[in-house]
Amino acid sequence: MIQSITNVLLPYIIGSIGGLLFSFLHIPLAWILGPMTILIIWRSIFVTGKHLYQPLIIKYGSFIILGISFGLAFTKDTFLTVGPYLVPFLITVIF
């Protein structure tokens, strides 16, 4: 029981530390890149071969929060700025 709680909470604690660290260092997208970077490093060094459990409700809730935060970043000006590059981008990707 304690082991399963640790497997759920420990990545969130380490990710929060990464977010705080990146935020303190004023790195852009601190609360997205910080936890991701720290958890990749942590898993590479300390958790080789071990499966960490994440309840589906927390996983899907995290995806919803990320989607909303990305979606709120797009404004009319964003599309007006990116719009002229759409055709060259599509040509580059297709050919």
pLDDT in tens, 31-80: 889 999 999 999 888 876 677 778 899 889 989 988 898 888 888 898 89
* Pair of tokens at residue 44: 């590479």
Q: For residue 53, what are the contacts with CB-CB under 8 A and spacing of at least 6?
A: 4, 7, 8
Question: What is this structure's pTM?
Answer: 0.66
* pLDDT band at residue 1 under the 50/70/90 scheme: low
pLDDT at 24: 96
**Phi (first) and psi of residue 48, to 5 degrees:** -70, 125
